[in-house]
């Protein structure tokens, strides 16, 4: 058990309010005057979640995007955000604000407040953002624990692009092609879709965002829901850019399913509702892809063209 | 203009949503389903807002308290908080959590979520907390800008204790007496009173918390309200511990009025309502003290036993 995991376990003993959802969901859900307030907070640390030479506009975009992704996962319409900012170089901060403005407009999450602090010299800076959204009015906010046998498993976008983009950016090679640029952009500017989350929430039995890798996140959903999730590796959507760059076999698909930073939605819905699921996604201007099934049992399993395939040792980014 | 001030000015150009209150108030106020959601976020940085050898329980207490103070200033009943935590030493973190638990219970602000991050080796850690509260239902959430000529100016507690406590702690001298212990405790464990803020909100024309020094914060209120505020230095409440430690003259009173970290309420109310103000405070189990008047004009002025006294050069902690 890592330090981070042990610490979160200790936090859980404090966060006993039902709105905290046992710190086991993407967001807290607070009932207030007949409304459901969805609350999430994510922090990006220099040297941990971004590199000192990453474009500041992208760091700001990512800060907003990772929180917007949590709102999307709970079917919440964004209401606003508060940001804590560690001051750095003046030009860097100015560029960061330009990216922040752009991202706040794109995700329709207006900046409402926050705090600005100085750091001691030589310290890594960190940026925290709290985002608020309004959950569905007439039904529960989807959790990770509602998947039921008979459901299909869906994702809302291609997997592995961001992870490969990061790999290309850090290796320094092949970043000149249009495909590499597209992949790098998926890493730098994740594009979660809160409006898609809002459209899917009434149909989803369970929903979360994929941030640490599809397989590890699917296992978290299976554990929370006390079911087994079986994923058809050959059904997982891949981008043309990824296939053009690394090819398309089981090995590449496993890499794509265990890479982080996808920020797409993973959700389940009864198989009989599949036409409605497709229609809701179309209405929200997006597409969704069935990639597996929910069964009695526990854990996750992988199929490759109808035959069981072994799970990789590492399912994704483990905290 | 400091870097921090220039940066906040640039932020203001982005935070144009009315709920942000121009980033000029203690908190954002978001209307949601007929409710007024009060939102604040404060960050404590190691080596800036607390010292590495400060007791971790106190750091956690302060993190909750400074946010609770903002809720109090807006007359908001606490609803919950989210916290971003930078992992450090295991024992330190464990003690921090104990202090966090205590503070969350004391201020009735349940922990609902947040994020836990690692820092690069050698980096100062920082802790952010977002607190949410419910503002008054049937009237506006008090701002800093509502003070009117004819109002009296009030504070909800003694001034300067925390600043003197910090001075004693850092000088290392005189921390053995009961008075010194009490003063040090005012620095380490600020005691804002959200329930007092809730009780005063219906009567206050303007309200804010004193965090950077009474004089600088009173000037901010005067500027926001476009009025002049005159403070009777001899009416400002001082603790017995402070008087016993440094004595009681104009010099000591100016020191008390320009020291930071008081976390008491500063508010104005029509002079004719003074009996109601006292009654509301008594009902909330607290006491409030009239210390001055609001007049036409601008800026602040100081009296000492009925005679004008010069303002000190430094009014408090200036960002």
Q: Read off the tokens for B115.
A: 């994020």
pLDDT in tens, B23-44: 999 899 999 988 999 999 999 9
The answer to whether A23 contacts B94, with C-beta atoms less than 8 Å apart, is no
DSSP state of B53: T
Measured in whole angstroms, how far is the alpha carbon of residue A266 from the centre of its chain?
Answer: 9
- A275: distance to nearest CA of chain B, Å? 33
- B103: distance to nearest CA of chain A, Å? 11
Residues 6+ away with beta carbon under 8 Å from B303: B230, B231, B232, B233, B234, B292, B309
pLDDT in tens, A29-63: 999 988 999 999 999 999 999 988 899 999 999 99
Measured in whole angstroms, how far is the alpha carbon of residue B106 from the centre of its chain?
Answer: 17
Under 8 Å CB pairs connecting chains A and B tally to 222
Alpha-carbon span B22 to A49, nearest angstrom:
30
User: If we measure between CA atoms, which residue out of A167, A148, A155, A110 comes closest to residue A289?
Assistant: A155
Residues of chain B found within 8 Å of residue A33, distances taken between Cβ atoms: 32-35
Q: Which homologous superfamily is B3-134 in? A: PurM-like, N-terminal domain (3.30.1330.10)
The ipTM (two decimal places) reads 0.94
pLDDT in tens, A94-152: 999 999 999 999 999 999 999 999 999 999 999 999 999 999 888 899 999 999 999 99
Query: Is B101 within any annotated ligand binding site?
Result: no
Residues of chain A found within 8 Å of residue B79, distances taken between Cβ atoms: 30, 32
Q: What are phi and psi of B89, to 5 degrees?
A: -60, 140
Q: Read off the tokens for B318.
A: 């200036």
Query: Is A89 within any annotated ligand binding site?
Result: no
Interface test with B, best of A12, A24, A41, A102 (most B CBs within 10 A): A41
Q: Measured between CB atoms, which of A27, A84, A118 is closest to B128?
A: A84
Alpha-carbon span B276 to B279, nearest angstrom:
5
The answer to whether B112 contacts A17, with C-beta atoms less than 8 Å apart, is yes
> Quick one: pLDDT at residue A158?
98
Using H for helix, E for strand and C for coil, what is the string for chain A? CCHHHHHHHHHHCCCCCHHHHHHCCCCEEEEECCEEEEEEEEEEEECCCECCCCCHHHHHHHHHHHHHHHHHHCCCEEEEEEEEEECCCHHHHHHHHHHHHHHHHHCCCCEEEEEEECCCCCCCCEEEEEEEEECCCCCCCCCCCCCCCCEEEEECCCCCHHHHHHHHHHHCCCCCCHHHHHHHHHHHCCCCCHHHHHHHCCCCCEEEEECCCHHHHHHHHHHHHCCEEEEEHHHCCCCHHHHHHHCCCHHHHHHHHHCCCCCEEEEEEEHHHHHHHHHHHHHCCCCCEEEEEEECCCEEEEEECCEEECCCCCCCCCC
Query: Is B248 within any annotated ligand binding site?
Result: no
Alpha-carbon span B231 to B218, nearest angstrom:
9
Alpha-carbon span B242 to B261, nearest angstrom:
15
A175-189, B152-166, B170-184: the lowest-pLDDT one? B170-184
The answer to whether A14 contacts B100, with C-beta atoms less than 8 Å apart, is yes
- A99: distance to nearest CA of chain B, Å? 11
Task: Mark the ranges of chain A whose per-residue pLDDT is less than 50.
Answer: none
- A265: distance to nearest CA of chain B, Å? 20
Q: What are phi and psi of B182, to 5 degrees?
A: -65, -45
Residues of chain B found within 8 Å of residue A119, distances taken between Cβ atoms: 45, 48, 124, 126
The answer to whether A113 contacts B40, with C-beta atoms less than 8 Å apart, is yes
pLDDT in tens, B270-312: 999 999 999 999 999 999 999 999 999 999 999 999 999 999 9
> Quick one: pLDDT at residue B232?
98
Cα end-to-end distance, chain B, whole Å = 9
Interface test with B, best of A48, A112, A141 (most B CBs within 10 A): A112
Domain boundary assignment for chain B? 3-134, 151-309
Query: Is A278 within any annotated ligand binding site?
Result: no
Q: What is the mean pLDDT of residues B232-236?
A: 98
Task: Enumerate long-range contacts of A174-180, CB under 8 Å, 24 or more apart.
Answer: A174/A245, A177/A245, A178/A241, A179/A240, A179/A241, A179/A242, A179/A244, A179/A245, A180/A241, A180/A245
> Quick one: pLDDT at residue A225?
97
Query: Is B47 within any annotated ligand binding site?
Result: no
Q: Is the pLDDT of residue B174 over 60?
A: no
Q: Measured between CB atoms, which of B27, B34, B97 is closest to A33?
A: B34
> Quick one: pLDDT at residue B170?
86
Measured in whole angstroms, how far is the alpha carbon of residue B124 from the centre of its chain?
Answer: 24
pLDDT in tens, B244-270: 999 999 999 999 999 999 999 999 999
- A7: distance to nearest CA of chain B, Å? 8
Alpha-carbon span A318 to B88, nearest angstrom:
19
> Quick one: pLDDT at residue A3?
82
Query: Is the dihedral angle over the CA atoms A90, B10, B216, B44 positive or is it negative?
Result: negative
Residues 6+ away with beta carbon under 8 Å from A262: A157, A159, A160, A161, A162, A163, A190, A210, A211, A213, A214
Nearest chain A residue to B102 by CA distance is A14
Query: Is B278 within any annotated ligand binding site?
Result: no
The answer to whether B7 contacts A87, with C-beta atoms less than 8 Å apart, is yes
- A264: distance to nearest CA of chain B, Å? 20
Residues of chain A found within 8 Å of residue B112, distances taken between Cβ atoms: 15, 17, 19-20, 28, 30, 39
> Quick one: pLDDT at residue B1?
52
> Quick one: pLDDT at residue B137?
86
Measured in whole angstroms, how far is the alpha carbon of residue B131 from the centre of its chain?
Answer: 14
Q: Measured between CB atoms, which of B7, B118, B126 is closest to A4?
A: B118
The answer to whether B39 contacts A94, with C-beta atoms less than 8 Å apart, is no
Q: Is the pLDDT of residue B75 over 90?
A: yes
Q: Is the pLDDT of residue B164 over 60?
A: yes
Query: Is B209 within any annotated ligand binding site?
Result: yes
Q: What are phi and psi of A134, to 5 degrees?
A: -105, 120
CB atoms within 10 A of CB B62: 25
- A248: distance to nearest CA of chain B, Å? 34
**What is the widest separation between alpha-carbon atoms in chain B?**
59
> Quick one: pLDDT at residue A193?
96
Query: Is A212 within any annotated ligand binding site?
Result: yes
Alpha-carbon span A306 to A235, nearest angstrom:
10
CA distances to A51, A309, B131, B217, B278 from B26, rounded to whole Å, are: 33, 56, 12, 11, 24
Q: Could you say which of 3.40.50.300, 3.40.50.1820, 3.30.70.870, 3.90.650.10 is the CATH number of the domain covering B151-309?
A: 3.90.650.10
> Quick one: pLDDT at residue A175?
65
């Amino acid at each position: 058990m890592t330090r981070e995991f042990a610490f979160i376990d200790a936090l859980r003993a404090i966060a006993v309010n039902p709105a905290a959802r046992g710190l086991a969901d993407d967001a807290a859900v607070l009932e207030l005057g007949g409304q459901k307030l969805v609350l999430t907070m994510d922090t990006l640390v220099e040297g941990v979640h971004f590199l000192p030479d990453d474009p500041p506009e992208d760091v700001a975009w990512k800060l907003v995007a990772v929180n917007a992704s949590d709102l999307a996962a709970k079917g919440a319409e964004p209401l606003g955000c508060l940001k804590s900012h560690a001051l750095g170089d003046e030009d860097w901060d100015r560029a960061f604000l330009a990216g922040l403005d752009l991202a706040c407009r794109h995700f329709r999450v207006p900046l409402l407040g926050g705090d600005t602090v100085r750091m001691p010299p030589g310290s890594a800076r960190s940026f925290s953002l709290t985002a608020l959204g309004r959950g569905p009015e007439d039904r529960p906010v989807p959790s990770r624990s509602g998947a039921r046998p008979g459901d299909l498993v869906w994702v809302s976008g291609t997997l592995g692009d961001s992870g490969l983009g990061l790999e290309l950016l850090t290796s320094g090679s092949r970043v000149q092609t249009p495909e590499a640029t597209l992949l790098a952009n998926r890493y730098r500017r994740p594009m979660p879709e809160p409006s898609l989350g809002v459209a899917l929430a009434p149909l989803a039995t369970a929903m979360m965002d994929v941030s640490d890798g599809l397989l590890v996140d699917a296992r978290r959903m299976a554990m929370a829901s006390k079911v087994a999730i079986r994923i058809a590796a050959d059904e997982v959507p891949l981008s043309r850019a990824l296939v053009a760059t690394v090819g398309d076999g089981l090995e590449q698909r496993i890499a794509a399913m265990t890479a982080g930073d996808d920020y797409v939605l993973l959700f389940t819905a009864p198989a009989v509702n599949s036409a409605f699921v497709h229609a809701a996604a179309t209405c929200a201007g997006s597409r969704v892809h069935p990639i597996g099934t929910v069964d009695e049992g526990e854990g996750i399993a992988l199929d490759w063209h109808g035959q069981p395939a072994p799970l990789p040792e590492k399912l994704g980014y483990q905290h």
